[in-house]
Structure 1
Amino acid sequence: MRYHHVDVFTDRPYGGNSLAVFPEADSLTGAQMRAITQELRHFESVFLVRDDSPGRPRPRRARRARVFDLTGELDFAGHPLIGAAAVLHELHGSADHETWTLRLPDRPVDVTTERRGPGRYASLLDQGAAAFLDRPDPDGLAALFALEPGDLDPSLPAEVISTGLRYLVLPVRGDALARARVAQPLDAPLARLGAEFAYLLDAAAMEGRHWSNDGLLEDVATGSGAGCAAACLRGHGRIGSGERSLLRQGRFTGRPSVMTVSADGHGRDIRSVRVGGGVALVGEGRLRELPPP
């Protein structure tokens, strides 16, 4: 079973967010995919399965995608799909620009890719429409991240937004982003808000942070969270409709990353959110033995 090691949201290897892509995973079970992800210890791994259903796009341009993090399967993700499309372009693309349909358990998404040199690509994921689910009372939210109420950005509200995963987007200001940490397990307080994860956003600096809900692992660059941040920024007029802006993440992990974000629409009617970035192909590997099915 061959796989590709890629770095996403960077223009060079050994930067950005690392990822394992399995382009021919038809024979694997979900339990095997989870075990392999835990073995390789990337933040996430993505497994591609051929999609030959009648009436769908040509199989060469379409795959079913299953994404796993260290705890289980995800309904949606950003950087795995962006990295997977670049690997498909490397293996099967004949033109400098290609479009790939990746079918997640609940819906398909399109990713466009551009070849920029040997082992270098740019990918752009269309996450679809954003859903603004709630605007929670800010009382107590700052304390979840060892911050004070005055560290919250008074010009932007906290919002629960989804483009596939439900994020509490929490705008902060000043040096709060640098001081933030997960002060207590987030699963229960986020669930009470109707959220699954949290994304801290410094809108003035265009920089974000995201951790696993237990606070033990900080994500280098979070494509799904960046999409929700883009919807928040567009919804409050901080970026223009369709305007591509740069959102940074990963500075505090030692792997600075840059994501391109944009959103179309006005107010809470955000019809399309796009997140993209560079992809560097780092290496290839082969599993000599598979875990039990």
Structure 2
Amino acid sequence: MSLEYFHMDVFSRSPYSGNSLPVFLEASGLSAPQMLRLTQELRHFEAIFLEPTGQLNRVRAHVFDMFEELPFAGHPVLGAAAVLHYTSGLTSPQTWQIELPTKVVSITTEQTEYGYAGLLDQGRPEFLGVVSERERFAQAFGLVSDDLHPELPLEVVSTGLPYLILPLRAGVLARASICNDISELLQAVNAQFAVLFDETELEIRHWNNDGLIEDIATGSAAGTIGAYRLRHRLASGGERFILQQGRFVGRPSLLYVQPEGTPAAVQTVKVGGDVVLVGRGRIEVLP
């Protein structure tokens, strides 16, 4: 058995920018250990594996990073929807349903002069609590409490993955890094990951919890930022804003974020961006 995959760059209009991704269009029959080994072999930040459901424009999906399966991730879902549109041969805008382990998400795609543009509806966010240990979490990123934004709270928000959002003063992002694994710190506040956020520049940074790999463009984190900004009256319901990410690793990316609802009741967050095809490959020997 051989296995075809597509190499996509997400949140960019140009190949070799944005966040790269392998999309396995037909992964039926693969086990979780096989999908993890394939992800580790290709060494993109994440990989997505699709299975047909028998329903038009609806597939099942499994997303892996190089450590485990994730219940949700933004850029793999957007990249997968672009591949589905590309292989369908259709030229009109399309809507896709992707079944993830914990929820079903909807993505609209359309052709552009660069490739495809996608918009992912991440659903209703959960606000899981404000965190008071400002000094402790600032130190986890090599910072001090004065580097945190003086008026905005540290808060755990989820649209499928719970992130601790750390709002920073302008200009501080460049000095941040993870010194030691922060997994236990995050678990103590019911978060799985952390995202640093500069409200002045509308820019974010995110790493694996051990700090060894910095992500390029994080759609799931962008969704939590959209919910956070609407809740704290930094954004308006129904209005789109652009988040920047990836410049510190040489792959600048643009993420389009549109929260819906009111500060008292955030209904959903949509996250989108451009997707381009880089190439395709074939696995001849399965793990």
TM-score normalised by the chain length of structure 1: 0.95
Q: Distance in 2 between matches of 1:96 and 1:151?
A: 47
Q: Distance in 1 between matches of 2:56 and 2:26?
A: 12
Tell me the equivalent position of 1:127: 122
Contact 1:65 1:104 in 2 (8 A): yes
Q: Secondary structure of the equivalent of 2:135?
A: coil
Q: Distance in 1 between matches of 2:225 and 2:105?
A: 19
Q: Distance in 2 between matches of 1:242 and 1:155?
A: 24
One of 177, 187, 191 as aligned partner of 1:191: 187
Unaligned runs of 5+ in 2: none
User: Equivalences for 1:159-198 in 2 at 5 Å?
Assistant: 159-198=155-194
Tell me the equivalent position of 1:29: 31
1:230 aligns with 2:232: no
Q: CA RMSD in A?
A: 1.0
1:267 Cα offset (Å): 2.4
Question: Which amino acid is 1:115 matched to?
Answer: Q
One of 223, 236, 240 as aligned partner of 1:240: 236
Q: Distance in 1 between matches of 2:27 and 2:137?
A: 41
Question: Which amino acid is 1:129 matched to?
Answer: R
Q: Distance in 2 between matches of 1:249 and 1:279?
A: 15
Unaligned runs of 5+ in 1: 53-58
One of 147, 152, 161 as aligned partner of 2:143: 147
Deviations 1:194-244 (A, max 9, x none): 100000000110000000000000000100001001111111111110111
1:90 Cα offset (Å): 0.1
Question: Which amino acid is 1:36 matched to?
Answer: L
1:110 Cα offset (Å): 0.2
Q: Distance in 2 between matches of 1:207 and 1:172?
A: 10
Tell me the equivalent position of 1:87: 83
Question: Which amino acid is 2:28 matched to?
Answer: D
Contact 1:160 1:166 in 2 (8 A): yes
Q: Distance in 2 between matches of 1:173 and 1:202?
A: 6
Question: Which amino acid is 1:209 matched to?
Answer: R
Indicate how the Cα distance of structure 1 residues 242 and 201 shifts in structure 2: closer, same or farther if over 3 A, else same.
same
Q: Which runs of 4+ in 1 moved over 3 A?
A: none
One of 134, 153, 157 as aligned partner of 2:153: 157
1:250 Cα offset (Å): 0.2
Q: Distance in 2 between matches of 1:204 and 1:64?
A: 38
Q: Distance in 2 between matches of 1:94 and 1:190?
A: 44
